[in-house]
Structure 1
Amino acid sequence: MAPPIPLLAVRGSDGTALLRGPPSCDEHPAIQRDPRPSRCVSFSRDGSLFAWCNGDKVSVVNTADGSVVSTFDLPKTMLLEFSPLGRVLATWQLYSKSQGDLQGEANLQLWDLQSGQLLKALYQKKTEAWCPSWSDDESIAVRSVNNELHFFENNDFNTIANKLHMQKVSDFVLSPGAQPSKVAVYVPGSKGAPSFVRLYQYPLFGGPTAALANKSFFKADRVSMLWNKKASALLVTASTEVDKTGASYYGEQTLHYLAVNGESAVVQLPKNGPIYDVAWSPNAAEFCVVYGFMPAKATIFNMKCDPVFDFGTGPRNAVYYSPQGHILVLAGFGNLRGQMEVWDVKKYKQVSKPQAPDSTHFSWCPDGEHVVTATCSPRLRVSNGYKIWHYTGTVLRRQDAGELWEVRWQSFPDGCFPERPVRYQAAPGELGSTQAPPTQAYRPPALRHLPATASSKLHEEEPPQDLRPGPSAERCLSKSALKNQKKREAKKAAKQEAKSEAPPSPAPTPAPACNSQSGPTCGDPETDKKMKNLKKKLKAIEELKEQQASGKTLQKNQLEKIQKEEQLLKELEELELSL
């Protein structure tokens, strides 16, 4: 049986339409475009239902034949969401109250789609975490109310089956997958106490000892939590609004790993700077992190938080795994030029390098063969439109729009689209491809008439590197990258050899030894003091490296000290040569 053709919902100022996905990209024959601007759209988890609100009513239709399933007289609906099995539709409106009504109207409604009846009307003032979270089988639903979590069973929202009460629960994430369900909760620190994240298994909430795992940290104004697909581990990105060291305008971020077996760790990132994006692989056995000051690094880590593959540096701030997990896209959107790097994850080989400037949205098609990029309002109000690509870099459809608000792929259950072999040759298409042009470092006008040299580069680019143990550590590098790496190593070796073979400079009187750390030995007390301090720092670095080699986890400031070793050695060498 041939796999289905995914639909793409397009919402903008000219209405809402469903497109049959690539390669045809034409409008759905059974569902006519709604010319009225829609406030929100949503697909059910299995893709069989589609809902939208056009300012007049909420409509729910069957995506196969366009038949109407339900309609609701809710013209002010701003957000829509289906439960995982499509049994319940959650709708949200702006909270409001009149002068005579102190409580206001319940603005969160939960509807039974089969009967069209209202299951429960609730109060939800904020848009953050507005919708209840369901387990995949809908046996459990949970929502946050007044710093505690309320659990409901079997879509019975009139009875609270269980509560998890802690001091000021700020955020939570329910695990995916089969039962038993697990929940991760975040409690921000206060009055000198650290923030912490704890993992619980429902319904075992009997105090701190009942937690499956616990991780506390001081530097956290907010967190984002991400379960892997098997619900065996959680990644926590802890962020502060302000970096007190002044190193980053974006504050400070750290990445933490928690497993349901109680293990926890800080993911050590070898480059300083912000953490832009984190994504689990669909195989649930590895994750990718984009981090560091620009040009940013991207690294894949295994479940032991050991680096497996380093993609080098580049202009990127986002990472996206294909639904099947065999292809990975690194992209630079927002204030970057929209360069995308498409990688074969199994071979760690780059497939293509297309460019989609001014993109504000990226998402994979469920078939794992195509992606969509879009420039949406209000993020950007000019050049609105979308492109559908093949992952090899070919543009299959380009559509400009007066004002585009949202594009969204139809959802499908796992296994609907099998993994296909990765292609390296560009797919055929009438619109061609947009490979990123080679970029050059900025050069001041006074130097532009001179030939470019290696020293004129703004950043030293780092090539990809396979970090798995074994002789295959260089197999991922291209021929040119290997050639450049060997040139750098040869140049460095030649410099060291020239220094060792250089004749000693004649001196009228024998100079006192400068390798002692006790008292002045070179005649200049200031120079002796500098050299003594440098040697003291280098000795401390050696001790830290020995601790790291023995398996001890070092703090961030200790890792930064180790990174300064080469700079300190250079300073010491310059002082010794100046004598």
Structure 2
Amino acid sequence: MAPPVPLLAVRGSDGTSLLRGPPSCEQHSAFSGDSRPSRCVTFSRDGTLFGWCNGQKVSVVKASDGSAVSTFDLPKTSLLDFSPLGRVLATWQLYSKSQDVQQGDANLQLWDLQSGQLIKGLYQKKVESWCPSWSEDESICVRSVNNELHFYENNDFNTIANKLHMQKVSDFVLSPGGQPSKVAVYVPGSKGAPSFVRLYQYPVLSGPTAALANKSFFKADKVQMQWNRKATAVLVMASTEVDKSGASYYGEQTLHYLAVSGETAAVQLPKKGPIYDVAWSPDSAHFCAVFGFMPAKATVFNLKCDPVFDFGTGPRNAAYYSPQGHILVLAGFGNLQGQMEVWDVKKYKQVSKAQAADATSFSWCPDGEHVVTATCSPRLRVSNGYKVWHYTGSVLHQQATPAGSELWEVRWQPCPSGIFPERPVKYQATATQLGSTQAAPKQAYRPPALRHVPASGSGKLHEEEPPQDLRPGAAGEKSLSKAALKNQKKREAKKAARQLEAKGDASPPPLPPDPAPVSNSQSEPSSSGDLETDKKIKNVKKKLKAIEELKEQQASGKVLQKNQLEKVQKEEQLLKELQDLQIGQ
């Protein structure tokens, strides 16, 4: 039996519609759509139900044939979500008070989808973590209330079955999968005490030995916690709003690892700068981090937090594993140009490179073969639209939003795991009417002070590092320097000469040509004829070379001394001085 074709929900100012996924990408015939603008849309976890609010009511239908399941008179609903088994619909609207009711109305409501009756009305003023978290079998449900975690069992929201109370619990994440359920809890530091994350297994929530793991750290205004799919470990990205050293506009981030076995670690990242994204592989044994000042590094780590493969550096700030885990997309969205690098994770070989300019969202189709990129409002209010791609770089379908209209969201219909098995990775673009959109090479940015100075041989402001396989015994475990490569060629030539002499041929083979010399950051000007000027130029270049070496040491993690930092800060002044000297020749 052929697997189903996932649907794609499209929400915008012109209404809500459902498309059948690739290859047809046509309107879903069983769903007529809604011409009114929708506040929100969502699918159930297994994809069988589709719900939306159009500002008049909340509607829930079967995704397969569009038949109505339930309708709720909730015109102000801003967010909605289904419980994992589709038994409960959670709706949320902005909290408000009235003169008649000082406490205000319960703005978080839980509805029984079978009967359409209200199960429980709750108060949830903050939109962050508005929806309760269920275990996969719905035996446990958790929500945060006044620095406590309240646990409910079997969707009985009239009785709190258990509580986890800690001072100032700020965030929590319930583990995926079945029983036993685990929960990761974050408590921010105060009065000089560090922040910490602890792991618990329900229902053991108190006592000196209750915590499965505990990790303390400083420099954390907020955290993002991610469980792996098998619920054996958690990644915690801690961040501060401001980097006190002034090195980064993004604040300062650190990455930590906790396992349910009790092991913890701070993940050591070999390049300084922001941590843009962290993603678990679906195999739960690896994770990918994108980090460092641009061009950013991307590295895959194992459960010992050791690097396994380094993708080098490039213009990227996001990582997306396919649902089957066999493909990884490294992308640069937002203030970058939308480059998407597609990698075969098993072979660590690049499949394709495409560009989705101005994309504000990216998501994998459950089939592991296709992705959708979109330019949505309010992030960008012009050039709204979306594209459905094959991972080899071909665009199968694209839709531009008409002038005067806005696209707000595109969302794939989820499918149960196992519906789409992993397929062999293709390295050639699939046939398509719209063709391939491989990223075209662009001229590197040059600072204004250097634009009328001849370009260096590389033509790049920052050299990008090549990929590097760090697995034990992998070929090319360490990249050879140019000097080492030259010496290696000489050794090979001498070995060949000895072999020829042993055969009676006394004429040795010629040495291979030396690698072309690498251009300096400034091209060598001709002599000015003025010895004093030439001496000044040589002196300035010597200082710039020293600064370049200091910057490389800083990028490798070395802490520079005060006088060295002062030298680095004089780089622009020296470049201007060099420019003036060369122009005056």
Establish whether TM, by shorter chain, passes 0.5.
Answer: yes
How far is 1:443 from its partner?
3.7
One-letter amino acid of the structure 2 residue matched with residue 170 of structure 1 = S
How far apart, CA to CA, are the structure 2 residues paired with 1:59 and 1:249?
43
How far is 1:362 from its partner?
0.2
Instruction: Kindly indicate whether residue 444 of structure 2 is the aligned counterpart of residue 431 of structure 1.
Output: no
How far apart, CA to CA, are the structure 1 residues paired with 2:71 and 2:447?
63
Q: State TM-score, norm by structure 2.
A: 0.82
Q: State TM-score, norm by structure 1.
A: 0.83
Instruction: Kindly indicate whether residue 472 of structure 2 is the aligned counterpart of residue 469 of structure 1.
Output: yes
How far apart, CA to CA, are the structure 2 residues paired with 1:85 and 1:321?
25
Which residue of the partner structure matches residue 85 of structure 1? 85
One-letter amino acid of the structure 1 residue matched with residue 426 of structure 2 = R
Alignment RMSD (CA, Å): 2.3
CA contact (8 A) 2:270 2:557 kept: no
**Which runs of no fewer than 5 residues in structure 1 stay unpaired?**
476-481, 495-556, 572-579
Per-residue CA deviations over 1:159-184 (Å, capped at 9, x if unaligned) read 00000000010000000011000000
How far apart, CA to CA, are the structure 2 residues paired with 1:279 and 1:444?
34
Which segment drifts farther, 203-212 or 320-329?
203-212
**Which runs of no fewer than 5 residues in structure 2 stay unpaired?**
490-553, 569-585
Which residue of the partner structure matches residue 240 of structure 1? 240
Q: Summarize the alignment of residues 137-152 of structure 1 with structure 2, pairs less than 5 Å apart.
A: 137-152=137-152
Which residue of the partner structure matches residue 513 of structure 1? none
Which residue of the partner structure matches residue 299 of structure 2? 299
One-letter amino acid of the structure 1 residue matched with residue 385 of structure 2 = G
Q: Summarize the alignment of residues 539-550 of structure 1 with structure 2, pairs less than 5 Å apart.
A: none
How far apart, CA to CA, are the structure 1 residues paired with 2:429 and 2:452?
38
How far is 1:132 from its partner?
0.2
In the superposition, relative to structure 1, how do residues 189 and 385 fare at CA in structure 2: closer, same or farther (>3 Å)?
Answer: same
How far apart, CA to CA, are the structure 1 residues paired with 2:427 and 2:212?
44
How far apart, CA to CA, are the structure 2 residues paired with 1:299 and 1:467?
10
Which residue of the partner structure matches residue 268 of structure 2? 268
How far apart, CA to CA, are the structure 2 residues paired with 1:470 and 1:563?
34
Which segment drifts farther, 201-210 or 356-365?
201-210
How far is 1:441 from its partner?
2.3
Of 433, 442, 447 in structure 1, the residue corresponding to residue 445 of structure 2 is 442
How far is 1:209 from its partner?
2.4
Which residue of the partner structure matches residue 557 of structure 2? 560
One-letter amino acid of the structure 2 residue matched with residue 469 of structure 1 = P
How far is 1:115 from its partner?
1.1
One-letter amino acid of the structure 1 residue matched with residue 416 of structure 2 = P
Q: Summarize the alignment of residues 36-47 of structure 1 with structure 2, pairs less than 5 Å apart.
A: 36-47=36-47
Which segment drifts farther, 70-79 or 96-105?
96-105
Per-residue CA deviations over 1:35-63 (Å, capped at 9, x if unaligned) read 01110000000000000111111111011
How far apart, CA to CA, are the structure 1 residues paired with 2:409 and 2:105?
29
How far apart, CA to CA, are the structure 1 residues paired with 2:483 and 2:47?
53
- Find the residue that maps to 1:311 and give its secondary structure: strand
Which residue of the partner structure matches residue 17 of structure 1? 17
Per-residue CA deviations over 1:274-329 (Å, capped at 9, x if unaligned) read 00000000000000000000000000000000000000000000000000000000
- Find the residue that maps to 1:186 and give its secondary structure: strand
CA contact (8 A) 2:199 2:213 kept: yes
Instruction: Kindly indicate whether residue 191 of structure 2 is the aligned counterpart of residue 191 of structure 1.
Output: yes
How far is 1:30 from its partner?
0.7
One-letter amino acid of the structure 2 residue matched with residue 72 of structure 1 = F
- Find the residue that maps to 1:399 and give its secondary structure: strand
In the superposition, relative to structure 1, how do residues 376 and 266 fare at CA in structure 2: closer, same or farther (>3 Å)?
Answer: same
- Find the residue that maps to 1:561 and give its secondary structure: coil
In the superposition, relative to structure 1, how do residues 246 and 368 fare at CA in structure 2: closer, same or farther (>3 Å)?
Answer: same
How far apart, CA to CA, are the structure 2 residues paired with 1:49 and 1:365?
17
Which residue of the partner structure matches residue 395 of structure 2? 395
How far apart, CA to CA, are the structure 2 residues paired with 1:492 and 1:444?
36
Instruction: Kindly indicate whether residue 413 of structure 2 is the aligned counterpart of residue 410 of structure 1.
Output: yes
Percent identity over the alignment? Answer: 79
Q: Summarize the alignment of residues 51-62 of structure 1 with structure 2, pairs less than 5 Å apart.
A: 51-62=51-62
- Find the residue that maps to 1:210 and give its secondary structure: coil
Instruction: Kindly indicate whether residue 425 of structure 2 is the aligned counterpart of residue 422 of structure 1.
Output: yes
How far apart, CA to CA, are the structure 1 residues paired with 2:431 and 2:395?
9
How far apart, CA to CA, are the structure 2 residues paired with 1:393 and 1:458?
27
One-letter amino acid of the structure 2 residue matched with residue 293 of structure 1 = F
How far apart, CA to CA, are the structure 1 residues paired with 2:340 and 2:239?
26
Q: Summarize the alignment of residues 171-320 of structure 1 with structure 2, pairs less than 5 Å apart.
A: 171-320=171-320
How far apart, CA to CA, are the structure 2 residues paired with 1:558 and 1:10?
43
How far apart, CA to CA, are the structure 2 residues paired with 1:358 and 1:441?
19
